Amino acid sequence: MEAAKIIRDTVLQVTQLRNISAGSPGLAQALGEVKRLQARRFSGTYFDLLHSDQYQPAALFFLDELYSEKNYAERDTQFARSASALERLFPQQVVQTAVSLAQLHGLTEALDLAMAHQWMSNANATEAARYVAAWRSVDRRADRNTQLAMVLEVGHELDRLTRTRGLRMMLRMMRKPANLAGLGSLQRFLEAGFDTFAVMAGKGDGAAFFLDTVQARESGLIDRLFDASAVACETEIAQALGPAR
């Protein structure tokens, strides 16, 4: 039951964070702006992969499921309500992926909310300057590196799932029981992730190249946002964001 407890505790933490932003319209708006900017930044940083026949599905999957502004309240509710059923229905490899996803979501929400608080204090600056200033005010370098490690671990776990004999068929057979148990959102995530990484694994360097690229670009950006000059960071973020909106 350890996995179920971790998931429930993490979802409770996320719910509490979400309630904080919901209680302040200004903070909720700032949080939405931060999340949208980060999704745009990801699109700019990975423009080449998003326009690559081989890696576009994986880049879109990461953008939609891990870097987007999407509201994951439905998935969170399902996770908390059906955490025990998760361990009964799915094999251990899948349960571990669900735990990693929940923990990543919890840390991401905490960091985004901290960014939103700082975002509100620098309203007259350009969006790139606001983002760099908020990032440095929040600090939490260790948590940023942990967040990236969690993103990569989810990716590696999905890649490992594609190498498990018979798992795709099992996932297909799990659709009805998963939906009946209230785990339809997780089921859709798993199937989409499995199919994305399975297709990528059959082409060229497969998932290894994609995940290594994410690690190199994101870890480099993290280091520069902490160590490079503010002007250099603002220029890089502005270039990734594209034309001002």
Give the pTM. 0.90
Residue range 166-199, pLDDT digits in tens: 877 877 887 888 777 777 877 888 888 888 888 8
| Average pLDDT of the residues in 220-239 | 97
Q: Please tell me the distance from the alpha carbon of residue 173 to that of residue 79, in angstroms, as a whole number.
A: 20
29-81 pLDDT, tens per residue? Answer: 999 999 999 999 999 999 999 999 889 999 999 998 888 777 777 777 777 77
- Encode burial over 87-119: b for 16+ CB neighbours within 10 A, e otherwise: bebbeeebbbbbbbbbbbbbbbbbbbbbbbbbb
φ/ψ bin of 82: left (φ > 0), alpha (ψ from -120 to 50), beta (otherwise): alpha
Give the pLDDT of residue 120: 94
Per-residue pLDDT tens digits for 125-159: 999 999 999 999 999 999 999 999 999 999 998 88
Q: What is the largest CA-CA distance in the chain?
A: 55
Reported confidence tier of residue 1, pLDDT bands at 50, 70, 90: low
Give the tokens for residue 116. 């939103």
Asked whether residue 203 carries a pLDDT value surpassing 70, the answer given is no
Dihedral in degrees, nearest 10, Cα atoms 78, 80, 84, 86: 40
* H helix runs in the chain, sequence order: 2-22, 25-45, 47-50, 56-65, 73-81, 83-89, 92-119, 127-138, 141-161, 167-173, 175-180, 184-201, 206-227, 230-241
pLDDT for position 146: 97
Structure tokens at 45: 């940083």
Q: In the structure, what pLDDT confidence band is assigned to residue 11 with cuts at 50, 70 and 90?
A: confident
How far is the C-alpha of 127 from the C-alpha of 238, rounded, in Å?
A: 8
- Which residues 6+ apart lie within 8 Å of 149 measured at CB? none
